[in-house]
């Protein structure tokens, strides 16, 4: 298909008959005009923190807080408190506003460092991650064997070349 | 317990040594997960595109389960209830929840104010562990969790936690008027569902654009849509203009978000170098192919960093842009009705079912679109061997 197609080729073939589509128009609302914003609050509620706040979840871990809000939310997640070098970078990043590049770029950097820390953490616990499984390559083997073999061969070639280069270098010493 | 464990971009594992969640707030509940899904937006995390996605986190914002423990002030649900849990964590009390903007709650995410709290969606969305696990902590359990009706299939229920409401809201935000031509960019589960829901608002023509033929075929069969593969088009925008008598579509829906293909510059800046909040190709196409005065509805997820958006065209064409995370809780009553009446059949979108142990494979299948996968659900129930430790009373 090319862009040279004529508009006539796309005349609506339904001709206004939607009887085969179950529920056609069931939620049509002529007043659904998104250019008019809804207002479902009282003027009292736009004055800031005037709502009755839920009780505060005890803050017994480190929670990084956006500078754009005055408090820690009543409830927060406790998945992975900041730690290590990545944590230090995250703490620093949170000194910047949410609209600042500096904040997000530092967080991206911290994420990458976190990956390395993750490996160190695994090894320190005597756990050697099975990267093959973790990258989901079993599925590649199941559903895309050709590509799997191709990639495996390529990896093996690169690895062999690398080992050859390394051993060659060692002999020179 | 068993839970998905993020180890870095493109690398996750099924980890049997994750700690059990605990009640940390009087309005918490602990839910034993029965079904959880991997979402297209989980892939943004998986690919390392969302800042502050910390190694060790558990993803999963689409899950259903059985309540096994409740905090001291919970009244609306009880132990034993089977519930669907909306992906957004909402307090029900703040200024935004009062407007039924449950996706924008101000009491669920300390880390950022722009985005609310979302299960298993990085610390940028509150740092909560998600439902790709045997058990999950559900905060504000009196607000979000909705008891699954007896007649409802659990596969339908899990789709009601994100895919159905997000697709429905995409159509709703489009302000579709009867007879309108709607273009949906992206034939993932949400795009397909959005296309389906456009008819409910009276669309006259629904067009779906994607790069995978198998997804387009699915969209055509499931959602009665006209479908086009943009790889076969010289320029999708020109194409849409031509098919709409050179005026443009009445409504365009961006159901793609940060990982759009189809434009080298956007791919390089947004996906490879991470210099913007994702590749905005789908949004460009939506803005440029909608008619003047038309409406662009965005439900595709973008990162927090600025993105190159053709704002000049937005102004000159007088476009209305509406975008939000779906307010699942608000939409559920209507959507449950639609499922009951057979108007929407969400479980049809689930093409793959795996035990949670194979979560790494699941992510790889979703990420590389292996085996014509549309939607993948993991059944935690398969993997539960030991008795739940909280069942002590
Ligand atoms: Zn989702
Ligand atoms: Zn709230």
Q: Tell me: pLDDT of A170 over 60.
A: no
Confidence of residue B393 (pLDDT cuts 50, 70, 90): very low
- State the average pLDDT over residues B250-263: 84
CB contacts < 8 A (A, B): 264
What residue in B sits closest to A59 (Cα-Cα)? B24
Q: Which residues of A touch B30 (CB under 8 A)?
A: none
Distance B62 CA to ligand 1 centre (A): 6
pLDDT at A15 > cutoff 70: no
Averaged pLDDT for residues B126-151: 97
pLDDT confidence of residue A172:
46
- B181-185 vs B249-254, strand pairing mode: parallel
Q: How far is the CA of B3 from the centre of ligand 1 (A)?
A: 18
pLDDT of B382 reads 44
Residue A39 has pLDDT above 80, yes or no: no
**What pLDDT score does A14 carry?**
61
pLDDT number for residue A8? 59
pLDDT grade, residue B307 (50/70/90)? confident
Alpha-carbon distances, residue B97 vs B85, B91, B119, B170, B349 (angstroms)? 16, 7, 17, 19, 30
Q: Is B310 on the interface with A (CB under 8 A)?
A: no
Task: Give me the mean pLDDT over the B91-106 stretch.
Answer: 91
Whether the pLDDT of residue A79 is over 80: the answer is yes
Provide ipTM, 2 decimals.
0.89
* Arithmetic mean of pLDDT, B300-329: 88
What local confidence, expressed as pLDDT, does residue A33 receive? 65
- Per-residue pLDDT, averaged over B275-286, amounts to 80
What is the structure's pLDDT at A13?
Answer: 61
Q: What is the pLDDT of residue A173?
A: 47
pLDDT digits (tens, 9 = 90+) for A94-152: 999 998 989 999 999 999 999 999 999 999 999 999 999 999 988 888 888 888 788 87
Give Cα B278 to chain centroid, integer Å: 16
pLDDT at position A158, please?
Answer: 81
Strands (E), chain B: 3-8, 11-15, 29-38, 62-70, 82-85, 88-89, 117-118, 135-138, 146-147, 181-185, 205-210, 226-229, 249-254, 290-298, 320-323, 350-355, 375-379
Say what the pLDDT of residue B166 is.
96
pLDDT at res. A150: 82
Query: How many angstroms is it from B92 CA to the middle of ligand 2?
Result: 5
Closest-CA distance, A68 to chain B, in angstroms, reads 7
Min distance A160 CA to chain B CA atoms (Å):
24
The tens digit of pLDDT for each residue in B156-186 reads 999 999 999 999 999 999 999 999 999 999 9
* Separation of CA B374 and ligand 1 centre (Å): 13
Mean pLDDT of chain A: 84
pLDDT band at A161 (very low <50, low <70, confident <90, very high): confident
Average pLDDT over residues B117-135: 96
Mean pLDDT of the region B27-32: 97
Whether the pLDDT of residue A61 is over 70: the answer is yes
**DSSP result, B331-377:** HHHHHHHHHHTTS--GGGGEEEEEEGGGHHHHHHHHHHTGGG-SEEE
B194 phi, psi to nearest 5 deg: -60, -45
pLDDT at residue B4, as a whole number: 96
Is pLDDT at B194 greater than 60 in this prediction?
yes
Q: Is pLDDT above 60 for B334?
A: yes
Q: Do B361 and A22 touch (CB under 8 A)?
A: no
The residues in B 83-142 lying below 8 A from A, measured between CB atoms, are 89, 91, 93-95, 98-100, 106-114, 117, 123-124, 126-129, 139-140
Mean pLDDT of B187-199: 96
Does the pLDDT of residue B262 top 90, yes or no? no
């Amino acid at each position: 298909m090319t862009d040279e197609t004529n508009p006539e080729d796309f005349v609506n073939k339904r001709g206004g008959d939607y009887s085969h589509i179950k529920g056609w128009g069931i939620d049509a609302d002529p007043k659904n005009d998104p250019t008019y914003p809804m207002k479902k609050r009282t003027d009292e509620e736009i004055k800031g923190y005037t709502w009755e706040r839920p009780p505060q979840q005890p803050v017994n871990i480190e929670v990084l807080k956006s500078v754009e809000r005055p408090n820690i939310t009543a409830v927060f997640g406790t998945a992975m408190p900041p730690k290590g070098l990545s944590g230090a970078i995250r703490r620093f990043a949170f000194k910047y506003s949410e609209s600042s590049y500096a904040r997000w770029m530092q967080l991206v950097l911290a994420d990458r460092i976190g990956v390395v820390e993750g490996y160190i953490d695994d090894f320190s616990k005597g756990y050697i991650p099975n990267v093959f499984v973790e990258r989901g390559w079993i599925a590649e083997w199941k559903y895309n064997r050709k590509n799997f073999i191709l990639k495996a061969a390529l990896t093996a070639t690169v690895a062999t070349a690398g080992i050859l280069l390394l051993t060659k270098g060692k002999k020179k010493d | 317990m068993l839970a998905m464990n993020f180890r870095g971009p493109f690398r996750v594992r099924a980890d049997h040594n994750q700690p059990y969640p605990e009640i940390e707030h009087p309005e918490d509940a602990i839910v034993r997960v029965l079904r959880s899904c991997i979402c297209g937006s989980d892939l943004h995390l998986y690919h390392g595109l969302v800042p502050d996605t910390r190694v060790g986190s558990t993803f999963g914002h689409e899950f259903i389960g059985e309540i096994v423990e409740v905090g001291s002030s919970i009244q609306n649900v009880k132990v034993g209830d089977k519930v669907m849990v909306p992906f957004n964590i909402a307090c029900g009390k703040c200024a935004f929840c009062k407007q039924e903007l449950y996706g924008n709650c101000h009491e669920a995410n300390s880390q950022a104010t722009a985005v609310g709290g979302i299960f298993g969606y990085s610390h940028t969305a509150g740092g909560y562990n998600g439902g790709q696990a045997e058990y999950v902590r559900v905060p504000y359990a009196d607000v979000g969790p909705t008891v699954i009706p007896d007649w409802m299939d659990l596969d339908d229920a899990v789709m009601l936690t994100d895919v159905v409401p997000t697709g429905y809201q995409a159509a709703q935000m489009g302000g579709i008027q009867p007879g309108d031509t709607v273009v949906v960019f992206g034939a993932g589960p949400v795009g397909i569902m959005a296309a389906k829901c456009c008819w409910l608002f009276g669309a006259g023509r629904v067009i779906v654009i994607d790069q995978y033929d198998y997804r387009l075929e699915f969209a055509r069969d499931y959602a009665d849509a006209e479908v086009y593969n943009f790889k076969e088009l010289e320029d999708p925008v020109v194409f849409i203009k031509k098919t709409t008598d050179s005026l443009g579509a009445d409504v365009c829906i961006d159901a793609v978000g940060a990982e759009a293909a189809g434009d080298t510059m956007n791919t390089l800046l947004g996906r490879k170098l991470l210099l913007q909040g994702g590749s905005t190709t789908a949004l460009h196409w939506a803005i440029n192919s909608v008619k003047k005065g038309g409406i662009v509805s965005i439900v595709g997820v973008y990162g927090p960093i600025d993105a190159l958006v053709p704002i000049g065209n937005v102004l000159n064409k007088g476009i209305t842009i509406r975008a939000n995370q779906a307010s699942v809780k608000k939409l559920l009553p209507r959507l449950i009705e639609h499922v009951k009446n057979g108007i929407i059949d969400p479980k049809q979108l689930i093409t793959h079912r795996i035990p949670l142990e194979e979560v790494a494979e699941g992510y790889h299948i979703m990420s590389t679109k292996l085996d014509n996968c549309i939607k993948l659900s993991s059944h935690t129930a398969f993997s539960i061997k030991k008795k739940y430790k909280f069942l002590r009373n």
